Amino acid sequence: MRVSTNTLYDQGVKSMLQQQHALFKTQQQISTGKRILTPADDPIGSARAHELSQAISINTQYAGNRGQAADSLKLLDHTLAGVTDLIQHVQSLAVTAGNAALSDSDRASIATELRGRFEELLGLANSADSEANFLFAGFQSKNQPFVQTAAGVQYVGDQGQRLVQVSSSRQMAVGETGQAVFERIRNGNGVFVTAADAGNSGSGVISPGAVTSPAGLTGDEYRIDFSDIGGVTSYTITNETTGAPVGAPVFIDIPFTSGDVIAFDGLQFEIRGMPAAGDKFHVKPSGHESLFQTMQNFINVLEIPASGPGNARLSNVLQNTMQNLGHALDNVLSARAAAGTRLQEIDALQQTGSAVTLQYQQSLSQLEDLDYAQAISDLMRRQTQLEAAQQSFARIANLSLFNVI
């Protein structure tokens, strides 16, 4: 077969270009440390490497989200710790205020301190993070959640909880609503609440009471009215929900003895001291009372002289205050426990996320990373091949009849 001179030249140039391209690609692989430079090098491996890179990027974002969530939860826990300390201090002040040796001016001094604590509590409830997001505002994180009005402190946030995506399958709350922490607090003993009427003039003090039979509870409201019948202090219990006297036995004009247990409809309580004729006491199902309202009621009663009827009023309010503060403390501690649990979960997710990222990186390395020993060997071989192609082309280029004529 005849081979033309043009063919020799074309094949020689083509061979050198191929060797140059192979050498250049090997040099690129060595300089980048990557085996796959373009999808054409390994289509399947390139697609898998892209998936792994994307998974690493997403996991890195989740790690960042977990860091932000941890910062928010730590701030929340620190704030709730401040609220816990404040409540415990107010509880100690309530115990102090119940000391019969204190004068009205002493109690007024306690009330002054409590007003400062009230403002401190309001500041804690309106705490914000470094990005000016209020911790207890729900979704309304840019608006101050608690405002003081003539009617008292009002919550103007919402019931939403800000969630952060901390893993592919987990969204975590990084805050609490102000209503859940500071307002949704059961009063009384948690089932029902006892209270003395504001107009009482006697020395009667009603106990918090207890449940004797959950099945017997009606959820109704009751009123205990005291009267003087023939010089004997007596009381009548009326179901204010139905308007009828309490029956079995009917509590109408029952002679009163201080400290006797009064039991009916699955509940019981005692009244100590001596109520005056016309005094009233109330028993109602427990509702919710905000921590701000509890503190305000405490302040108000300390500013009223406690001599005569005021002493019984003080005792009744202090008793309710201690109960409500105990429930508020339990509520805050529950919120702190929930925040601590979420922090522990974030730590566990961080460890898992780090392990997953490491596994992804190892898999990606196996797909993309270059075997330097093999690559350097290929570089030397291709360099030799290129030099051989160049030298052979030079020899063939000199083959001409004009050289022998």
SS3 sequence, 114-125? HHHHHHHHHHHH
Domain boundary among 233, 255, 287: 287
Band (38; pLDDT cuts 50, 70, 90): low
pLDDT of residue 321 exceeding 90, the answer is yes
What percent of the chain has pLDDT above 70? 82
Identify whether 26 is part of a domain. no
Looking at the structure, do residues 158 and 53 belong to the same domain, yes or no?
A: yes
44 shares a domain with 132: yes
Q: Supply the pLDDT for residue 17.
A: 73
Out of 256, 287, 318, a domain closes at: 287
In a domain, 8, yes or no: no
Are 39 and 140 part of one and the same domain? yes
Residues 6+ apart with CB under 8 A from 283: 192, 193, 194, 209, 221, 222, 223, 224, 267, 269
Flag whether 402 is in a domain. no
Mean pLDDT value across residues 132-136: 90
Query: Residue 361: what pLDDT?
Result: 76
3-class secondary-structure state, position 277: coil
**279 & 335 share domain:** no
Q: Is 123 found in the same domain as 108?
A: yes
**At residue 175, does pLDDT exceed 80?**
yes
Q: Does 3 fall in a domain?
A: no
Q: In terms of domains, do 258 and 356 share one? A: no
Number of domains in the chain: 2
Q: How confident is the model over 93-106, as pLDDT tens digits?
A: 999 998 888 999 99
Task: Judge if 208 and 145 occupy the same domain.
Answer: no
Looking at the domain assignment, is residue 203 inside a domain?
yes
* Confidence bin at 118 (pLDDT 50/70/90): very high
> In terms of Cα–Cα distance, which of 220, 212, 322, 223 is closest to 261?
212
Chain segment 138-164, per-residue pLDDT in tens: 898 889 999 999 889 999 998 888 889
Task: Check residue 111 and give its pLDDT.
Answer: 95
pLDDT band at 329 (very low <50, low <70, confident <90, very high): very high
Distance (Å, whole) CA 82 – CA 182? 13
Indicate the DSSP class of residue 319.
Answer: H
Range of the domain at 305: 34-187+288-369
| 6 is a domain residue | no
pLDDT band at 282 (very low <50, low <70, confident <90, very high): very high
pLDDT score, position 4: 62
Separation of alpha carbons 240 and 225, rounded Å: 12
Q: What is the mean pLDDT of residues 378-387?
A: 71
Long-range CB pairs of 54-62, under 8 A, 24+ apart, other chains included:
55/360, 56/357, 56/360, 56/361, 56/364, 58/168, 59/353, 59/356, 59/357, 59/360, 60/357, 62/165, 62/166, 62/167, 62/168, 62/349, 62/353
Q: State how beta strands 267-272 and 210-211 pair.
A: antiparallel
In a domain, 255, yes or no: yes
Residues 128, 83 share a domain:
yes
The pTM assigned to this predicted structure is: 0.78
Q: Which pLDDT does position 224 carry in this prediction?
A: 95
The enclosing domain of 311 has a CATH number of 1.20.1330.10
* pLDDT, average across residues 79-88: 96
The overall average pLDDT reported for the chain is 86
Predicted pLDDT of residue 379: 66
Is 70 found in the same domain as 177?
yes
Shared domain for 271 and 298, answered yes or no, is no
Q: Report yes or no on 81 lying in a domain.
A: yes
- Based on the fold, state whether residues 225 and 257 are members of the same structural domain: yes
Q: What pLDDT score was predicted for residue 359?
A: 84
pLDDT of 235 > 90? The answer is yes
**pLDDT > 80? residue 380:** no
User: Do 265 and 320 fall into the same domain?
Assistant: no
pLDDT in the model for residue 404: 58
